[in-house]
Structure 1
Amino acid sequence: MLYLLFYKLLGVNLFKYITFRSIYAAITAMFLGFYLYPYFERFLKDFQFKQTIKEYMPEGHKGKSEIPTMGGILIIVSLLLAVLLWSNLENPFVWVTVFVVLTFGLIGFVDDFVKAKLKRPEGISERAKFLSQLAAATAVALFLYKSGFSTVLYFPVFKELHVDLGLLFIPWAVFIIVGTSNAVNLTDGLDGLAIGPVITTSFVFLIFSYVVGNYRLATYLQLPYVPGAGELTVVCAAVIGASLAFLWFNAYPAEVFMGDVGALSLGALLGTVALLTKQEFVLAIAGGIFVVETMSVIIQRFVFKLTKRLYGEGKRVFKMAPLHHHFEKKGWKEPKITVRFWIVSIILALVSLSLLKIR
């Protein structure tokens, strides 16, 4: 909005620069989060949107049943207001990200509402949630495919290695968006645990978005040039600002949880940005925490079902999945798990950024 007003209409060159607008998108989202939280907390408490604790959860979670959930609404509001204020609204990539945040946020909202207000701890059925995610992601994939977006899949490190997926781009895009959405949701199990890697991964894609959207930098670093992708730098900056504000209240001991409304939307947004910047494999590295958490659940279920079929009794690889609950069962304190996962996430972010030069 400000880009169109000050640069396009009034000719103020300062608003042309993505770096300037990104900085203030982050600041805007952060301060909106701080300002709105007291009002939002009152809203959550008035409507009794409290965290649902399942019976099989570790003992330390029993006391969290009175903590408000659905704090992801605050992240979405802060994020979208900053994006709409500071980004170039003529860029279609901006509207793709807005669509993803709103649709996946709506899916998460319905799930959280069913858990909190209808007293159904499992929320909506896994089938309904998954099909809804598939529908939203497919809409994005089809839009990109029909609009002529590149269907080439690029691999990091190997500059000459790339494959044109053609029509297979559609299921690939759906897999990335839905997979990342659910991966972030699985990670969101401890105070501040998921939002930390969201921040570090967003920072990685802030850099990559700027680079691949700049022809000279992309060419120099031998990365695919994606016209218009530079505007995603503003989106990633807004994610960082909104997430930092949320972390202020979500850090141990948490005053609010993001719920599915936040986790599903943030995960889907990261997956979408990875697709738009042609850096899907970088996402797997930068978001390695999300990958490991998801794989721990898949491995746990697969081994349990296999051993139950073979031996009549299911065996478990981990004490509990996702992985963060395994460490809880081993006696690690919640803040220690969270901070150590953050440290790993920072290391993975640095490794991801190193791929800018490794060719």
Structure 2
Amino acid sequence: MRAILFGGGLALVFSLLGTRVAITQLSSHGYGQEIRDDGPTSHHTKRGTPTMGGIVIIASSVLAYFLAKLITGSTPSASALLLLFLFVGLGFVGFLDDFIKIVKQRSLGLRSKAKMIGQTVIAIAFGILALSPALEDERGKTPASHHISWIRDFESWTLPTVVVVLLIWLIITGTSNAVNLTDGLDGLATGACVMVFGAYTLVNIWQNNQSCAVAQGPSCYEVRDPLDLAVIAAAIMGACFGFLWWNASPAQIFMGDTGSLSLGGALAGLAVLTRTELLLIILGGLFVAVTLSVMLQVSWFKATRRLTGTGKRVFRMTPIQHHFELLGWEQVTVVIRFWIVTGLCVATGLGIFYAEWVAGTG
């Protein structure tokens, strides 16, 4: 438990201080954000704001995790190392995207196919390793399972390894892109991630306290290394908290794709490793809503253009946060209200998680 406190606290301090240094260094090198021309005109004033701040979030989280393990004298687990691999790997894909934007001086970085290839390679590697017999513990449990999960595995639905890897790929690419789409207003994605990673910290602590490795029972959790996963979740939450100090409106730095892809990947990894894949849909309800708004907009536009020759739109602009901006909402208003939505989603998800345990013990 001390490792969780050290991980979260150290990451917050590293991020809070490191982001200030990053702002200075990135500004001096001219590593500023390019703004899409078809976006809200109010965003044009943000052109040139330092980006790639996700580097600080990643570095702070990883450093805090290993220092927490060193201080407490414990060994990193296979599950934690896998999650860090996913976190850093997708961060590297995002870094390439951000760097190309800066070098080419355009709002488009990696081509969509190239970005998807990078995400796919990392996600598939994570899935294969998480299911590898070589990573089984003394109880024969791998970090990921061959079952679909809600709050725990559906034991009756055992899936072939190939299918599970494909599902893991879908969850990782979908979640990382969802957080990327949400990262469009000052502090929006950062604040939402603080809450969702905080929720996973609590989920992991509870799973550790009720672990089947400690005491078998109808309501115990078959999860590998839950306490170690809690350390990483707390570290990322702390890093996001520190970064938010500088990323809140008016933002002095953006996380860029470096941050959004890595954070989305870490959320997906936590869902897979904690056997809560479907619960992530509720905990990350804001990210789901933002993604659905884009899918609905594109689908409706293509369908109406095919039928009438003129494409029509459901929203004034997507992702949906920009729709509310064009309705006249101030950016800060949109962000705070979306944070409230995230808080409600997290409260609902945690309530369902706890209620399921209570029902199982009743």
Residues 221 and 46 (structure 1 numbering): CA distance in 2 closer, same or farther, change over 3 Å? Answer: farther
In structure 2, relative to structure 1, the CA distance for the partners of 1:160 and 1:189 (3 Å cut) is closer
Residue from 109, 114, 137 that aligns with 1:123: 109
Matches of 2:354 and 2:236 in 1, distance apart?
25
Cα distance, 1:191–1:223 mapped onto 2, change above 3 Å = farther
User: Quick one: distance in 2 between partners of 1:165 and 1:328?
Assistant: 44
Q: Does 1:176 align with 2:171?
A: yes
Contact 2:148 2:154 in 1 (8 A): no
Please say if 1:229 is aligned against 2:215. Answer: no
Which residue of 79, 86, 92 maps to 1:100? 86
1:248-267 alignment runs, 5 A limit: 248-267=245-264
- Structure 2 CA distance for aligned equivalents of residues 269 and 356 of structure 1: 20
Where in structure 1 are there 5+ consecutive unaligned residues? 1-18
Deviations 1:13-56 (A, max 9, x none): xxxxxx21111111100111122223211210122111111110
- Tell me which amino acid in the other structure corresponds to 1:180: T
Residue identity (%): 35
The alpha-carbon deviation at position 159 of structure 1 amounts to 8.7
- Give the gaps of 5 or more residues in structure 2: 134-141, 357-362
Amino acid at match of 2:132: K
Deviations for 1:277-305, whole angstroms, at most 9, x for unmatched residues? 00011111010000000010011111111
State the 1:229 CA deviation. Answer: 2.2
Report what 1:150 is aligned to: 145
Distance in 1 between residues matched to 2:215 and 2:199, nearest whole Å? 15
The residue type paired with residue 346 of structure 1 is G
Q: 1:197 aligns with which of 163, 172, 192?
A: 192
In the other structure, the counterpart of 1:333 is 330
Contact 2:147 2:154 (8 Å CA) reproduced: no
Contact kept? 2:153, 2:275, Cα under 8 Å? no
Q: TM-score, normalised by structure 1?
A: 0.91
1:44 has 2:26 as partner? yes
RMSD, matched Cα? 1.8
CA distance in 1, matches of 2:234, 2:183: 21
Aligned 8 A contact 1:51 1:116 in 2:
yes
Q: Using the alignment, how far apart are the partners of 2:217 and 2:332 within structure 1?
A: 42
Q: Residue 110 of structure 1 aligns with which residue? A: 96
Query: 4+ residue stretches of structure 1 with deviation over 3 A?
Result: 87-90, 158-162, 216-221
**1:225 counterpart letter in structure 2:** E
In structure 1, the residue matched to 2:139 is: none
Alignment-mate amino acid for residue 82 of structure 1: A
Scaled by the length of structure 2, what TM-score is found?
0.90
Shift of 1:220: 6.5
